[in-house]
Amino acid sequence: MVRKKEEQEVIFQCVRNGIGEAEMHKITRGESELYGKGKLFNHLILPPGTSIGEHVHEGDNEIYYILAGTGLYNDNGKIVRVFPGDTTICSEGELHGLVNDGREPLEAIALILYS
């Protein structure tokens, strides 16, 4: 199967009480396409000045692979600048958040897998 870009569902929402709206391109359509092992596989775009609010993962973990732009990643209270090619991993029970404090969109692949 090939799912063309124009066939991907795109949603805009404030994520985890973050600032502004993120653009999320759903690469997969829910849990069934992840064979029950996860719930999200998205291409995430944060315009300048937007964020994903801080939150704790329970029952799952989340990975971001940064494609473009830069931002500030909250890694359990430690703020780390992220760049293209960086990978962040938030394990079950840990806290994270992401802020685009740059001038360009921050793009990442987001994957949430069950523990």
Q: Domain range for residue 111?
A: 60-72+102-115
Which phi-psi region, left, alpha or beta, contains residue 85 (left: φ > 0; alpha: ψ -120 to 50)? left
The three-state secondary structure class of 55 is: strand
Mean pLDDT of 32-37: 95
With respect to residue 66, please indicate whether it lies within any of the assigned structural domains. yes
Q: What confidence score (pLDDT) does residue 88 get?
A: 98
Q: What confidence score (pLDDT) does residue 71 get?
A: 98
**Model confidence pLDDT, tens digit, residues 43-64:** 999 999 999 999 999 999 999 9
Mean pLDDT of 62-69: 98
Q: How many domains does the chain have?
A: 1
C-alpha distance across the termini of the chain, in Å: 28
State yes or no: pLDDT of 30 exceeds 90: no
User: What pTM was estimated for this model as a whole?
Assistant: 0.95
With respect to residue 52, please indicate whether it lies within any of the assigned structural domains. no
Query: Where are the extended beta strands (E) located within the chain?
Result: 10-13, 22-26, 38-46, 51-56, 60-68, 71-75, 78-82, 87-90, 95-99, 106-114
With respect to residue 112, please indicate whether it lies within any of the assigned structural domains. yes
State yes or no: pLDDT of 84 exceeds 90: yes
Q: What confidence score (pLDDT) does residue 35 get?
A: 95
**Model confidence pLDDT, tens digit, residues 87-110:** 999 999 999 999 999 999 999 999
Cα–Cα dist 108/52, whole Å = 12
Instruction: Find out whether 22 and 2 touch, Cβ atoms under 8 Å.
Output: no
With respect to residue 26, please indicate whether it lies within any of the assigned structural domains. no
Instruction: Find out whether 9 and 41 touch, Cβ atoms under 8 Å.
Output: no
